[in-house]
Amino acid sequence: MNADPSCIFCKIVAGEIPAKILLEEDDLLVFHDIQGQAPTHLLAIPKRHIATLNDVAQPSDAEAMLLGRLLSACARAAAKAGVEDYRVVNNCGEAAGQSVFHIHLHLLGGREFSWPPG
């Protein structure tokens, strides 16, 4: 499995840092965000290190399937968490708010959200 030893999410995947995991599959994890911005705030990550969405702008078939599985995992995790209405967000790049450079989807639920989000 491709990992970055300095990446906090890779350390979670490796079991070096604890996380409250809601869903685990062969190639992905969904866990609770420790700095939640909503009553339900989950992070869906691939177990393989990919820094940003830009790194899979021209995905292989396997990468495209992984990205689709991440979205699908969000739906399964939301159901498991008892959330019907939710928002899924990906921040790509520092100026967009990405603070951990390992692709991750934020699943936010449990309250109403306004639009536009920023």
Residue 116 covered by a domain: no
pTM for the predicted model, two decimal places: 0.95
The per-residue pLDDT for range 9-27, each reduced to its tens digit, is: 999 999 999 999 999 999 9
Residue 118 covered by a domain: no
- Please name the residue that has the structure tokens 């992905």: 28
Residue 86 covered by a domain: yes
Query: What separation, in Å, do the N-terminal and C-terminal C-alpha atoms of the chain show?
Result: 35
Note the pLDDT of residue 83.
97
What average pLDDT does range 103-115 have in this prediction?
Answer: 96
Question: Which residue among the candidates 41, 49, 102, 104 is catalytic per the annotation?
Answer: 104
Cα–Cα–Cα angle for 16, 96, 32, rounded to 5 degrees:
35
The per-residue pLDDT for range 45-79, each reduced to its tens digit, is: 999 999 999 999 999 999 999 999 999 999 999 99
Number of domains in the chain: 1
CATH number of the domain encompassing residue 101: 3.30.428.10
Residue 4 to residue 14: CA distance in whole angstroms: 11
Residue 117 covered by a domain: no
Residue 100 covered by a domain: yes
Mean of pLDDT over the chain: 96
Parent domain of 20: 8-109
Active-site annotation holds for 104: yes
**Whether residue 96 has pLDDT greater than 80:** yes
* Helix (H/G/I), strand (E/B), else coil: 101: coil
